[in-house]
Structure 1
Amino acid sequence: MAYYRDKVGLTVAKTLTNSVGFTFGEMTLWIDRVAHQSQVDVWLELFSDEPDQALERLGGPRRDELEPLDGVNGLWTCDPAGVVLLVRNE
């Protein structure tokens, strides 16, 4: 977290229990603390008024097994290279 704040110079946009969101242009870069992570992953979050229609347009598989989306109107998918995408309402 300190690297992006102190070295890169990004502004903290929001802090949660295990996550920090940094202002990254018009986007937010979220860094999550994961206790037992064996590799680094980049997951992207896309916003849509209609997540189901967006998934159809993107043509990706639905990836519900990744993580529960409690209280979030959205769904998980991935791009052809395997990068995880969360498509949800803002």
Structure 2
Amino acid sequence: MEPGKNIAIKVPLHQWEDTVSFYRDKVGLSVARELDNSTGFNFGSITLWIDRVPQQSQTDVWIELFDENPDAALASLGSPKRDELEPLTNVTGHWTSDPAGTVILLRQEQMG
């Protein structure tokens, strides 16, 4: 396993605009990509996503790990499969979590 290229901070609706502004205007990160409910910032060699989650009441940090065989890696970690968290479109992998509850996207790196 190795670190992925994305970290997401899942932010409640009422804190999203201020959080995006904080990283853009105060920290000075450049915007890499903007979507309807997400703003991605250049954060060294990774992208830091600030995701707006209307049904969320507190902030969560989600990370990404790459592995050539996500099924075997999930079994090796002994972590729960949490694929109900978000749809995985065009991704080979699984959502899981560490013992403290940090959500992890464990997936194959897409080449190209």
RMSD: 1.6
Matched residues, number: 90
Matched, 1:40 2:62: no
Amino acid paired to 2:69: E
Query: Could you tell me the percent identity over the aligned residues?
Result: 64
Question: Higher helix fraction: Structure 1 or Structure 2?
Answer: 2
Which 5+ residue runs of structure 2 have no aligned equivalent?
1-19
Which position in structure 2 is the counterpart of 1:5? 24
Q: TM-score, normalised by structure 2?
A: 0.70
Deviations 1:32-53 (A, max 9, x none): 1112221111111222222212
Unaligned segments of structure 1, at least 5 residues = none
CA shift in 2, pair 1:57/1:12, >3 Å: farther
Please identify runs of 4+ aligned residues in structure 1 that moved more than 4 A.
Answer: none
Scaled by the length of structure 1, the TM-score of the pair is 0.84
Higher strand share: 2
